[in-house]
Chains A and B, each alone.
Chain A
Amino acid sequence: MIDLAALEREAHTVYQPLPLDRRSRDLRRLVVRGLVGGGRGHLGSALSAIELVRVLYDDVMAHDAERPDWDKRDRFLLSKGHGCLAQYAILADHGYFPMAELDRFCRFEGILGGHPDAAKVPGVEASTGALGHGPSIAVGMAVAAKLKGAAHRVFCVTGDGEINEGSVWEAAMTAGKHDLDNLTIIVDYNKLQSYERTEIVQDLEPLTSKWESFGFAVRNVDGHDVDALRRTFETLPFATGRPNAVIAHTIKGRGVAHAEGDPSWHHKSKMSDEEIAGILSAIEG
């Protein structure tokens, strides 16, 4: 029996942010390098997802920067494509492409656009940016793995505003129907979408029981707690024969104190040198 009451308690845990360790700060500096390179970027949306991509690429997923199309790799889809600076930072760090590409972010001659392009960026499985597409693609990939009897897994990070899209829930129904325990949907639940708090724009609660009711096995976790994320992903699949949902409670703009929780940092452009210096100095803490 599923203990729904326990799940709801878990969902409403108040997570106290831990200090960011050196690696998390280093990855954030790479995000800022891209931001400076392009003169723009979805900073807040990238910073909430740093620990998610860090733990997945460092500790959880089978992957090889030398062989981005290695057949046995775990698949990763950043469905919230606007948060791509987080993925670019971790891919650059792992050597998928030279760090210098970050300096050409969003530039005419660069490969790193404001949304990730699978045809250009090694390690990007699918071109995302139009919201609500990733989960269905991930379902197709997970079904394909089952058809082939392959052991690799599929991870898909969505935004919280993104799951306003009905297509996400179409995909969720199909994932539940096909018992896709090789699929993990991770909601970057920073509770702030472009305009305002999610609870104002389109309240997602009760989010845990929503995913549960679609057939997912759900875990709530502090999305910035590296150890907690590792422990959570280590127990995949959470239940045999059920797709997995990780609701990662995060803070938009995490690591830059004056940006945290402020919707005006969802996307930034035309930043002054002083603002950049302020971001970097805030990351140093």
Chain B
Amino acid sequence: MRKTCLDYVYELAKQDERVVFIGSDLGAGTLDQFRDEMPDRFFMEGVSEQNLIGMAAGLAMEGFIPYVNTIATFITRRCYEQLAVDLCLHNLPVKLIANGGGLVYAPLGPTHLAIEDIAILRALPRMTVFAPCDKEEMARLVPQTLDMDGPCYIRLAKGGDEIVSDQARGFQMGKAIAMREGGKVLIVGTGITTTRALHAAEELAAEGIQCGVLHMHTVKPLDEAAILDRLSDVDLLVTVEEHTLVGGLGSAVGDLLLDKAPNAAGRLVRLGIPDTFSDKYGTQDELLEYYGLQGPQIAQRIRDGLNDTGARVA
């Protein structure tokens, strides 16, 4: 997914002289072709996230379109004030490419787990937040970012992620994609949790429980209509996120229901990571299981929810 994303940045840069790339201290060989062919627009500026964002802001004020890339925790936490003031306040078209969103860096521990990135980015006015589910969807997303107004955040998954998106369903920023229709249950996922939601839906379908799956690749702005329009058909609305339950997709959906469909709020079950730092290492999949976010676990939570025996949050 990261390679796909950066390959498209390279393609955009070849087509459009306004595109510049700014990295921190990325892996050896990253975008070598970009550097070799367009050295003036390739910047690797060191481990200085505040400076990267400010510099990107200055370039954007002068008409350039910077794509900034580093690890998700550092491009969010370390330079949050620069994101708020330099990018969002000025509404500048700077794209943030965040390596390792969620639990990807499981073996590296909590310093590298970006599990509150969506919450803090979503809190910033004018920021758009994307979490595509696989590399093919990434390929549809990146070209669309070129001419969008204001800053955006692109949360990258681990790489080698199962392909579940489909060209035929298209891709439009801010428009959720129905990956699976029908049933009395609607699961809303973002990023790779959409894939886990699909696994759960398949498992439940075999038992005669039909679940719709809505892929919220754009968490902000939230596609409110996609949820509200389906509410009357569902007994259970389940959000699944590789993110803390504080302020992410589940919170966004919960806010929506409280504001616009309060009677439906009791039908919402939010699955995610509890308000804690991870105390385990291992792999992304192991941590997803630890937090109850793999397909079979989601399926069980839905069975519990339908029987009204489960708690309403993870």
Contacts and interface: CB of A to CB of B under 8 A. Distances in A.
Interface of A: 118-119, 125-127, 129-130, 132-133, 135-145, 147-148, 166-167, 170-171, 173-174, 177
Given A126-B58, A167-B51, 9 more contacts: A127-B90, A133-B85, A140-B55, A147-B20, A147-B41, A167-B82, A171-B54, A173-B51, A174-B55
B40 to A, nearest CB: 6
B86 interface: yes
Contact of A139 (B51, B81, B85): B51
Majority secondary structure of chain A interface residues (helix, strand, loop or mixed): helix
A141 B45 CA distance: 15
Interface in B8-31: 20
A36 to B, nearest CB: 28
A69 to B, nearest CB: 11
A139 B50 contact: no
Contacts of B58: 126, 136-144
Interface in B23-79: 40-41, 43, 45-46, 48, 50-51, 53-64
A118 B90 contact: yes
24 contacts: A119-B89, A119-B90, A126-B61, A127-B89, A129-B85, A130-B85, A133-B85, A135-B54, A136-B50, A136-B86, A137-B54, A137-B61, A139-B55, A140-B59, A140-B60, A141-B58, A144-B62, A144-B63, A144-B64, A148-B62, A166-B50, A170-B50, A171-B51, A174-B45
Contacts of A170: 46, 48, 50-51
Contacts of A142: 58
B262 to A, nearest CB: 34
A125 B58 CA distance: 10
B16 to A, nearest CB: 13
Contacts of A136: 50-51, 53-55, 57-58, 82, 86
A174 B48 contact: yes
Given A147-B41, A147-B64, A174-B48, A140 B89 contact: no
A168 to B, nearest CB: 9
A57 B68 CA distance: 34
A16 B161 CA distance: 69
Interface of B: 20, 40-41, 43, 45-46, 48, 50-51, 53-64, 81-82, 85-86, 89-90
Most B C-beta atoms less than 10 A away, residue of A129, A136, A143? A136
A125 B61 contact: yes
B151 to A, nearest CB: 14
A144 B50 CA distance: 18
A119 B59 CA distance: 17
Given A137-B61, A141-B62, A144-B63, A127 B54 contact: no
Nearest to A148: B62
A142 B48 CA distance: 18
A201 B295 CA distance: 55
Contacts of B82: 133, 136, 167
A141 B48 CA distance: 17
Contacts of B53: 136
B54 A140 contact: yes
Contact of A167 (B54, B57, B63): B54
Contact of A143 (B55, B86, B90): B55
Contacts of A171: 51, 54-55
Nearest to B51: A170
A137 B86 CA distance: 8
A129 B85 CA distance: 9
Contacts of B90: 118-119, 126-127
Contacts of A166: 50
A145 B63 CA distance: 10
A200 B43 CA distance: 38
Most B C-beta atoms less than 10 A away, residue of A125, A129, A166, A171? A171
B145 to A, nearest CB: 19
Contacts of B59: 140-141, 143-144
Contacts of A144: 58-59, 61-64
Given A133-B82, A171-B55, A140 B50 contact: no
Contacts of B86: 126, 133, 136-137
Contacts of B81: 130, 133
A135 B40 CA distance: 21
A174 B56 CA distance: 12
